[in-house]
Structure 1
Amino acid sequence: MCIAPGGARQSRFGLIVVQLSRLFDRFLPPDRRLNPEALAWVAVLLAAIAMLAVESSIAVQVYGASVASAFLVTLVHAGALPLSMLRTSLGGVFSVLACGVLPLLGTYTPGAPWPWMVPVMITQILIIFVIGLRAHWRTALATLIASIAVSIAAALFGHTRHPESSPDSSIVNIVVFACIAGGVYVAAVIIRQWQEISSQLLQEKENTATEHSKRIVVEEKARIARELHDIIAHSMSIINIQASSAPYRHPETSSEVQKEFADISGSARQALGEMRRLLDVLRSDREDQQLSPQPKLPEIENLVHQAQQAGVRVRLEWSGDRIDGTLRDSTSLAGYRIVQEALSNAIRHARDSQVRIEVHNAGTAIRITAVNTAGRGPVEPVEQGVRRHHGLIGMRERAVSVGGEVRTGKTVDGGFEVQAVLPLGSAGSPPERRAEQHAAEDEDRL
C-alpha cells in the first residue's frame, strides 16, 4: 500500500482493514472493489455504536449510575473512537477524560471489575489501536500512559469514598488493562512502521524504475548519436573535402563550376554543423536542451537560393502580411522544416520538375503551399515497406506540434502538393485525430 506524504493520517489503516477489504473483494464483481478507507470508517462507527449501547447499559444496571450521566459520558467515550480517525490527539484526550469520570458515576459493586469496566476497557484499547495506526507512536504512548494514570487516580479516589472496597481487585484490573493495551499498542506501532517501510520500498522501486527508464533513453540516444556520426557525419565530411579540393585538383574547370563546388562545400559544412548540434543533444541527458541556433521561416530564401544554384527550378512567392519577429520560434522552425522537406521530396522523387513555394501570412495563420510537377521520376529507387513516407509523417508531426495541420497528395497533372497551415496564436491541443485521418488519406493517394 503506497502512502502519500500529505495524506498519511487518512490512509493508514493496518493490515486487518486491508485483509478484510481483500476478503470482501472476492465476493464483488471485478469492476467493483471496496475502498479500505470507507471500510475502516464503517467498522469504527459500528464499534462506537455498539460500545455506546453496552457501556451505558452496564453503567446503569451494574454500577447504579444515573441514565443521563451514564449516557452522556459513554457518548463522549464512544465518540472518541471515530474522532480518533480524524483528530488523533483530540480523540485521545476525550477518551482519557471519559475513562476517569466513568468509574466515579456509580457506586462500588463487589465482584464487578473496577475501575475498568469490560466494555470501557475494550473501547479504550480500540482507541489506542486506532491512534497507534494513524499518528506518531508518541501520541499513542501518551494516550496509553494517561489512561493508566487516570485509572489509578480513579481507583485511589474511589477507595477513599468506599473504604470497604478491596485495593487488590483494582490493582489486578489496572494491570490487566495495562498489559492488553500495551500489547495492542506495540502491535499498532509495528504495523504502522511496517506500512511506512513498505511504502518507502515501493517509492524506491518506482524511483529505480524511473531512473532505469531514463538510463535506457540516454543509452539509446548515445547509440543513435554514434550511428549518425559513423554514417552521415563521415560521408558529409568526405563531400566537404572533395568539393573544397576540386578546384585545386582540377584547375582547368571554369569559374562557374568552381563556384558550384564552393556552394556544395558550404552546404556540407552547414549540414555538419547541424549534425554536431544534434549529436550534442543526443549525447546529453538534459531534457530541456534544444538545438540552437535554429533556422527561421524567413531563411527559406537561402534554402531556395541554394536549390537554384544546384539547378533546381524552384520559385518562392511571399504574400499577405510581413512575417516579423513576433512569430513564435516553434512555428517558424516548423514552417522552415516543412518547406525544406517538401523541396527535398521534389528533388528526390521528381527530377527536373518545376517547384513553386508559396508562403501566405493570413494574419491568424501561416499558409504554406509547395507544388511540384511530375518531372522525370525519382533520382533513386523508391524504398518499400515501413521506411516509406517518413518525410510526410515528419512534416505532419511538426505541424501538429504547433497546433497546425498538413495536407498532402497528388495533383491532377501527376505532380505533388503539400499544404500546411500553422496558426500564429497559442498552440492548442494537438489535433491527433485529424492528423491520423490525413495520414490515412495520404496512404490511399500514394
Structure 2
Amino acid sequence: MTSVEDKPPRALLAGASRRWVRLVPWAVAFVLFVALLPTTIGVLSVDYGLSGGLAGGLAVAQTAPLLLAVVRPLHAWYVILASDVATALVLLTVGFPAQHAWPFPPTAIVGYLGLCLALGLREPRRTLLLVWLTTAGVSVALGFAAPHGTSGSGVLLTVLSGVALVLGGALRERYEAQRRLAEQETISEAERDRRTLLEERARIARELHDVVAHHMSVITVQADTAAYRLDGLPPEVRKEFTSIAATARESLGEMRRLLGVLRNEETRGELAPQPGLTRIGQLVEATVRAGVPVEFTPCDADVPEAVGLSAYRIVQEALANVVRHAPGAPTHVSVSASASSGVERLTVLVVNGPPPEPPAAPLENGDTGHGLVGMRERVRIAGGTLDAGPLPDGGFRVAAQLPLTDSLPPT
C-alpha cells in the first residue's frame, strides 16, 4: 500500500487560507480522543468485562492515534486497525453478553470512521480502495470466529467506512480542482498582462515610427532638393547634402524594415539583408562627418551573418555613444579575426579618448543605459564576451569577442 506522503508531513487542510479551517482537523481529533478514551475504557471494562488495565491499554491504542491522523492518517490507520483486531481477539477470551456488538464495539466504529474521513482527505484513490478492501477482509475473517453467531458490526463498519472514505476523497478532489482552477486563473491573468504589455510595446513602436519617419522623410526631401532650391552652393556643400539624404534614406529604410516585422506576425525572417562587417565602414564615415575623428581598421573575414550583424550593432551603438557623450573625441575602431586555443573569434574594439572640450549641454536628456544592455544581450546570444568601461584618461573602451564557430551561450 502506497501513500502520497513522501514529502515532509503537513496537517490536513494546512493549505487553507483561513486559520479556523486549518484548526478544524486538530479540534475534531482532540474531541474524538477526549470523548472516546474514557468511553472506550468504560465499555470494555464494564460491558465486556475486561480488566481495568487491559481495557485502558486497548483504549489508548484505539484512540491516541487519532491525533496522529491529522498529520499521518495512513500510519494512524495501521495502528488503529491492529488495535481493533487485537481488541476483538481479546474479547473472545471473556464471556461478554450476546447482545453486545462484536468484533467492533460502537466506540471502535466511531473512531474508525473519523480515521477514514482523514484518510480520504489525504490519500489517493488507490490507497483508499486498498484500505476499504482490507477493512472488509478483516471484518469477513473475524466473522468466522464470532462467539454468538453472525454479528452485524463488521458489516456496519465496512459499509460506513466506505462511505467515509468516498466522502473524504470527494472533498479532497474538489479542493484540488478548485486549487488548480485558481492557479490556472492566476497564470492566465499573468499571460494576459504579458500580452497586453507586448501589444502596448508594439503600438508604441508603430507610433514612434510614424513620428520619426515623418521627420526623416522631410530631412531626405530637403537634402535632396537643396541643390535645386539654393543657387550657388559649393561642391562640398552639395556633397554634404547628398550624404545627409543618403543617410536619412538608409535610416528610414531600416525603421520600415523593423516595423514590418512588428506588424506582420507571420514574418519568418527579416524583410531585407541585415548589415554586417562590410557596412561598418559606412558607420565610421557617418561618424567622421558628425565631427568625430575615427581611425578604422577593417576586417574582410568571412563571418556568420549573425556575428556580422552583432559586430555592426556593437560598433553602431559605441560610436553613437561617442557622438552623444564625447563629441570630437579621437576614436579608434578595430575589427579583427584571430584564433587561440583552437577557437576562432572576431574581436570588436572601439576606444575613444576624452572630448577636447566638455559639451556645454548634454545632447540627450537622461541616460536609459539601454545601449550597453543591448550590446551585452547580443554578445550573450552569440556566446561571446563583452568588456565595456571608462578609461583612466576619461575615455571609454568597448571590447567584444564573438566566436566564429557554432556555440551555445554560456548559462
Which structure's residues are more often helix, by fraction? 1
Partner residue in 1 for 2:145: 158
AA partner of residue 306 (structure 2): D
Say yes or no: does 1:337 pair with 2:313.
yes
Match of 1:197 among 177, 184, 187: 177
**SS state at 1:158 partner:** coil
Matched residue type, 2:350:
T
CA contact (8 A) 1:369 1:417 kept: no
Which residue of the partner structure matches residue 434 of structure 1? none
Q: Which residue of 344, 349, 352 corresponds with 1:368?
A: 349
- Report if aligned partners of 1:99, 1:150 keep a CA contact under 8 Å in 2: no
RMSD: 5.4
Pair 1:279-2:259 in alignment: yes
Structure 2 CA distance for partners of 1:353 and 1:131, relative to 1, 3 Å = closer
Partner of 2:209: 229
How far does residue 192 in structure 1 lie from its aligned partner after superposition? 0.2
- Report how far residue 304 of structure 1 moved: 1.4
CA distance in 1, matches of 2:257, 2:50: 88
TM-score (norm 2): 0.63
Q: Deviations over 1:175-201 (max 9, x none)?
A: 653575355325412430232133123
List per-residue Cα deviations over 1:189-233 (Å, max 9, x = no partner).
243023213312321232123113212312330342133123212
**Structure 2 contact 139–158 (Cα < 8 Å) conserved:** no
CA distance in 2, matches of 1:151, 1:193: 28
**Cα distance change, pair 333–103 in 1 and its aligned pair in 2 (3 A):** same
Aligned 1:255-274 pairs, distance under 5 A: 257-274=237-254
Pick from 75, 96, 106 the counterpart of residue 110 of structure 1: 96
Change in Cα spacing, 1:195 to 1:13, as seen in structure 2 (3 Å) is farther
Same amino acid, percent of matched pairs: 27
Aligned-partner Cα distance in 2 for 1:316–1:307: 11
Structure 1 length as normaliser, TM-score?
0.59
The amino acid of 2:161's aligned partner reads A
The structure-2 alpha-carbon separation of the partners of 1:85 and 1:270, relative to structure 1 and needing over 3 Å to count, comes to farther
Specify whether residues 240 and 8 from structure 1 end up closer, same or farther in structure 2 by C-alpha distance, changes over 3 A only: farther
Where does the alignment leave 5 or more consecutive residues of structure 1 unmatched? 1-6, 27-38, 430-446
Aligned ranges 1:286-305 → 2 under 5 Å = 294-297=274-277, 299-305=279-285
Aligned to 1:418: 396
The answer to whether the Cα contact below 8 Å between 1:99 and 1:151 also exists between their aligned partners in 2 is no
Q: Pick one of 216, 228, 253 that aligns with 2:196.
A: 216
Q: Deviations over 1:228-285 (max 9, x none)?
A: 1232122112222333344555586566555444432332222123223443555578
Q: Secondary structure at 1:404's aligned position in 2?
A: strand
Quote the Cα distance in structure 2 between the aligned partners of 1:217 and 1:123.
Answer: 56
Counterpart contact for 2:324–2:363, Cα < 8 Å: no
- CA displacement at 1:376 relative to structure 2: 6.1
Task: Work out whether residues 389 and 396 of structure 2, in 8 Å CA contact, stay in contact via their aligned partners in 1.
Answer: yes
Q: Would the aligned equivalents of 2:388 and 2:397 in 1 still touch at CA under 8 Å?
A: yes
Q: Is the 8 A contact 2:290 2:323 kept in 1?
A: no
Specify the alignment match of 2:303 in structure 1. 325
Match of 1:314 among 294, 298, 302: 294
Identify unmatched segments of 5+ residues in structure 2. none
CA deviations over 1:280-339 (Å, ceiling 9, x no partner): 5555789x99998543355322211344466754321359xx75526x936x55543343
Opposite residue 368 of structure 1, the aligned amino acid is L
Q: Write the letter of the residue equivalent to 2:145.
A: G
12-21 or 338-347: which moved more? 12-21
Distance 2:326 2:396 in 1: 14
